């Protein structure tokens, strides 16, 4: 079976190589599948970006034209059953380039599923509050247009880029109105968030094995959910509120162990060292009733498949915890 990388890299190669003759200065970094060169840092000829001492996920391609640097992450996930959180898990790959002041592009090839509108909102805010810009697209030909406009002038390039960002905002705003009635409260209820006066809290059901058992592949998805909360809410990006990422199926001891065993893991380090953010566990909830604590502990290693007894218990407990957090009945360590 042809892999997602093979399909998308070939698609980009077919699009970009024909303009190489017109723009001989254009450097193209697209490495074959199986090569580790994309994991080398950008300054050493690779496709991985480091910002503030943190290494972000490797991108599938990097294009360099004069002082224009475009980092591109690509996926055929929409043809492979990715309809929800699996789409946001790759958001961080191009994020490192954006934080360094470059252009990051996340390309989702057209498929059976549609792009999650939250991605457009995340990219818009990332472009607004970072030194670089971020684009979500389903059309790789915009890459040619970006280079062409840059070759004309930086003014033409910036005008085109601004137009692309405006279109992303329109897509997010339309979906936000349709799905959540323009209400962040409605959004929060559906996306496991609490928007408090002093903090924003996002909670997910990931447990210790989610980060340590490779077959579960949940670390990437958890990181995607982490950045979803961080980049959709402007109060967090403006440091007006703290960001709390609650993992209720972890204990303080679990977190301590993860910090040891994952001390070289890119995804864990990104999540654990993001500014104005903190990871909290069930032990950080001061005043949590013993029966709720015991119930969460009883299902901490159980699969969270929808409809299972464990998932129902988890949902019931979290509904109570969320309700009480909103009423300020709990504090955090």
13-30 pLDDT, tens digit per residue, is 999 999 999 999 999 999
Three-state DSSP state, 104: strand
Q: Give the position of tokens 């475009």.
A: 70
Q: Rounded to the nearest 5°, which phi and psi values hold at 138?
A: -120, 15
pLDDT at 112: 92
Q: Which of 108, 77, 98, 227 is nearest to 161 (CA)?
A: 98
Cα distances (Å, whole numbers) of residue 206 to 128, 173, 224, 268? 30, 29, 12, 13
Mean pLDDT on 249-253: 97
pLDDT at 180 over 90: yes
Mean pLDDT on 32-43: 91
Give the Cα separation of 262 and 240 in Å (integer): 30
Domain boundaries defined on the chain: 4-176, 190-332
pLDDT at 214: 79
Q: At what angle do helices 91-99 and 117-129 cross, to 10 degrees?
A: 10
Cα distances (Å, whole numbers) of residue 228 to 1, 84, 217, 284, 317? 31, 12, 18, 22, 23
Give the Cα separation of 163 and 166 in Å (integer): 5
Q: Which of 77, 75, 130, 76 is nearest to 103 (CA)?
A: 130
What are 99-142's pLDDT values in tens digits?
Answer: 999 999 999 999 999 999 999 999 999 999 999 999 999 999 99
pLDDT at 15: 95
Give the Cα separation of 156 and 149 in Å (integer): 5
What are 64-95's pLDDT values in tens digits?
Answer: 999 999 999 999 999 987 777 789 999 999 99
pLDDT at 1: 52
- CATH class, domain 4-176, is alpha beta
Q: At what angle do helices 218-232 and 91-99 cross, to 10 degrees?
A: 50
Give the Cα separation of 314 and 114 in Å (integer): 29
């Amino acid at each position: 079976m042809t892999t997602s990388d093979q399909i998308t890299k070939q698609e980009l190669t077919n699009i970009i190589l024909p303009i190489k003759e017109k723009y001989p200065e254009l450097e193209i970094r697209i490495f074959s599948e199986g090569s580790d060169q994309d994991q080398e840092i950008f300054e050493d000829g690779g496709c991985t970006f480091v910002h503030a001492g943190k290494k972000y996920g490797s991108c599938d391609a990097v294009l360099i034209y004069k002082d224009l640097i475009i980092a591109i992450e690509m996926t055929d996930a929409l043809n492979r059953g990715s309809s929800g959180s699996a789409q946001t898990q790759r958001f961080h790959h191009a994020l490192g380039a954006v934080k360094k002041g470059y252009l990051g592009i996340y390309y989702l090839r057209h498929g059976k599923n549609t792009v999650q509108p939250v991605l457009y909102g995340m990219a818009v805010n990332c472009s607004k509050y970072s030194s670089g810009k971020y684009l979500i697209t389903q059309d790789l030909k915009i890459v040619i247009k970006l280079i062409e406009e840059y070759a004309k002038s930086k003014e033409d390039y910036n005008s085109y880029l601004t137009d692309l960002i405006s279109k992303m905002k329109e897509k997010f705003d339309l979906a936000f109105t349709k799905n959540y009635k323009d209400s962040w409260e409605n959004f929060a209820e559906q996306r496991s968030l609490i928007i408090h006066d002093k903090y924003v809290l996002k909670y997910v059901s990931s447990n210790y094995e989610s980060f340590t058992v490779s077959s579960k592949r949940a670390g990437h998805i958890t990181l995607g959910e982490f950045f979803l909360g961080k980049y959709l809410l402007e109060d967090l990006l403006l440091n007006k509120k703290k960001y709390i990422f609650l993992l209720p199926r972890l204990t303080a001891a679990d977190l301590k162990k993860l910090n040891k065993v994952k001390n070289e893991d890119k995804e864990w380090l990104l999540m654990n060292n993001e500014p104005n953010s903190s990871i909290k566990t069930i032990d950080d909830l001061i005043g949590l009733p013993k029966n709720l604590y015991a119930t969460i502990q009883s299902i901490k290693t159980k699969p969270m498949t929808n409809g299972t007894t464990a998932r129902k218990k988890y949902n019931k407990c979290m509904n109570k915890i969320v309700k009480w957090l909103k009423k300020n009945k709990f504090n955090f360590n």
